[in-house]
Chain A
Amino acid sequence: MYVYRPHDKQLLNERVAQFRDQTRRFLDGQLSNDEFLPLRLQNGLYIQRYAPMLRVSVPYGMLSSTQLRMLGRIAREWDKGYAHVSTRQNIQYNWPDLEDVPDILAALAEVEMHAIQTSGNCIRNVTTDEFAGINAAEIEDPRPWCEIIRQWATFNPEFAYLPRKFKIAVNAVPDADPALIGVHDIGVQIVHRGGETGFQVLAGGGLGRTPMVGEVIGDFVPWPHLLSYLEAILRVYNKYGNRDNKYKARIKILVKALGAEKFRALTEAEFAELKDGPMTLTAEEVDVMRGHFSEPAYDPSLTNRPAALEQALASNKAFNRWFHTNVTAHRQPGYAAVTLTLKKTGRAPGDLTDEEFDAVADLADQFSFAEARTTHQQNIVLGDVRQDQLFPLWEKLDALGFATPNLKLLTDMIACPGGDFCSLANAKSIPIAEAIQRHFDDMDYLHDLGPIDVNISGCMNACGHHHIGHIGILGVDKKGREYYQITLGGRGDKVSKIGEKLGPSFDADQVVPVIARLVDLYVEQRKPGELFIDTYERLGIEPFKERAYATDH
């Protein structure tokens, strides 16, 4: 993973000093609320329902065990003993005091972490596949490119006051979209053409109240020009994005309004000026960056499916089930990636306690080269586990309650903090997630159902990705009461697709019965091997609609 050099550290220290001073001036009344707002936002600090919320950046999801321990310590010392993994691979704290934030940032800086540009109208944390660097299907490791983008974006002076937030994701897997690039402001698809690395660049995707899938703007941008091309897009957006109405300010609205053709022409004009200029990357620079992501010291003598693993699979049913659900193939023979689903019943999806941070750090040290990853599904991955160590690891995870074999299954939900924490919420999302977990608690049944993405957002801002859930649940407010609108057929797995509304929204206590009916219909109608989403795409929404509202007639 990227290890800081002295100048990276220096920059963070200067940032901490800057924010400490800004906070002091705000508390002294020298900075107005309006003036402090974008400053604190660019440091990940929202003022929420009960307290500020602090969002800590986890660049492309990579964490060292030292960083995990610090995240746990912060939860213990400055929060209420827990933190939240977000859909953008970041970590959020719900209860810090504003006065403490400079100290929290100083603590983070000790372990090469920060909250820079985790909110506000600027370029946010760059995200990618949680299996980056270990996914056998990827054509190259996307993380060096992510880091190149991160450095370009960090405190970029021209793009600190954009019309609206700006999210970039990078994907290196052909035929699948684990990084959800289709629904990012810019999606970067790494492609190899004629022996050359380049990028297909999408722009204008995004969720929120007007969900859209991005359009291809640059079909093949040769690798030396990555930053020049991104800069060209950002400059077009900075100049022409809507600034009068924040609901129309995202780049997706601009791309839509101009049309992809016109947007591309404007981008190409800016690009023509930047191309071959000082932003052009050299092979040597990219190699140095790749060097920061060299692979860990794998044991080359290991092979897949060692005897110890086979034996455990044959003798322990629970382990076997977990292996087939939560363990992902690795490009290095003899290794595997393990996902810890953070979806304990009765706990907000994605939450970890301080002790759990420490426990995961210990496991990372012991089993996975002292590294872990966060995922947009609000889970944690130990990426480099020896296959012959999977059983002992599973035993420890089981003891910690992190071995629930439900990765990608119906109870591996995404949910935003919703009305329990967020002041923008129309409705709560955590209790809905919990009700679903309580109802669907039969592991055999869940496994029989197979992969189903259930995504829950407490309002149309869509932090819980409801638009791209196979089943999406959206909190809506009707005359002060909380209702839930259900969408079907969204996906963010292979392609990005925005879900379709089922019909009128439901009372909170109707959500679980409705989902149960939708799932029943799938079970009745599925062909052998067909997933929920496949059956839905084959049948269309009508039969689901009929079934969902059947008892209401």
Chain B
Amino acid sequence: MPQIIKDGAIVEDRWQWLDAEALAAQQALPEGAVIVPLAYWQAHRDSLKARGDVAVCLEPGEEPVALADDLADLPMVAIHFPAFKDGRGYSYARELRTRYGFKGEIRALGDVLRDQLFYLQRVGFNAFVIRADRDIHDALNGLKDFSVTYQGDVHDPRPIYRRH
């Protein structure tokens, strides 16, 4: 089983991510935990909700508001980074946590690398599928780059001068 970083540790992972292309190549949605594109979710919402092991992946440009009414039924929202430099997903994760109070897993997919993990976890991501050509054990160190932060984040909204 592939490994991912989740809640600060390396774990085995059962989720299968199907992007639009992969999905088009399938006859039917496979059994087991699966991450689907937003458009597919929107088209088959009711049947997918009933399964309980379906998650949605947001692409850059697809904002969390599209899932506002579905979050209670979703175990996970994934956010895809086609390129790590596209930072929209940071605002999406933060919105999921602070605007919509989403408590489920937020997973980073795609160009996910060690040097972005510290920021990603602070805006609400708790699961990371590290790019396949990288050492996941090395990447884990990225979560611990800093012990000091100035501004609040989703875990502790207080700025440093208010944390006594």
Binding site for B on A (CB under 8 A): 7-8, 10-11, 14-15, 18, 22, 30-31, 35, 38-39, 121, 151-152, 154-163, 235, 238-239, 243, 273, 277-279, 285, 288
Contacts and interface: CB of A to CB of B under 8 A. Distances in A.
Interface residues of B, number: 35
Contacts of A160: 87, 90, 116, 119
A124 B31 CA distance: 48
Nearest to B60: A243
Contact of A152 (B115, B138, B147, B150): B150
A167 B23 CA distance: 43
A38 B113 CA distance: 13
A115 B145 CA distance: 17
Interface string B124-164: 00000000000000100000011111111100011111100
A155 B151 CA distance: 8
13 contacts: A7-B148, A14-B148, A18-B146, A38-B85, A121-B87, A152-B150, A156-B151, A160-B90, A161-B90, A239-B88, A243-B86, A278-B159, A288-B161
B85 A161 contact: yes
Nearest to B153: A157
A35 B159 contact: no
Contacts of B147: 10, 14
A357 to B, nearest CB: 29
Contacts of A10: 147-148
B146 A239 contact: no
A22 B115 contact: yes
B159 A239 contact: no
Contacts of B88: 238-239, 243
A126 to B, nearest CB: 13
Contact of B86 (A161, A277, A285): A161
A11 B152 CA distance: 15
B63 interface: yes
B107 interface: no
A216 B148 CA distance: 35
Contacts of B94: 158
A279 B60 CA distance: 27
A15 B159 CA distance: 19
B91 A235 contact: yes
B150 A151 contact: yes
B98 to A, nearest CB: 8
Contacts of B17: none
Given A35-B115, A278-B158, 8 more contacts: A11-B146, A35-B113, A121-B87, A155-B150, A159-B90, A239-B91, A243-B60, A279-B159
B115 A279 contact: no
Give the top 7 A-B pairs by smallest Cβ distance, nearest first.
Answer: A161-B87, A278-B157, A157-B122, A157-B119, A11-B148, A151-B150, A158-B90
Nearest to B145: A18
B146 A158 contact: no
B123 interface: yes
Contacts of B84: 35, 161
A285 B161 CA distance: 7
A154 B159 CA distance: 12
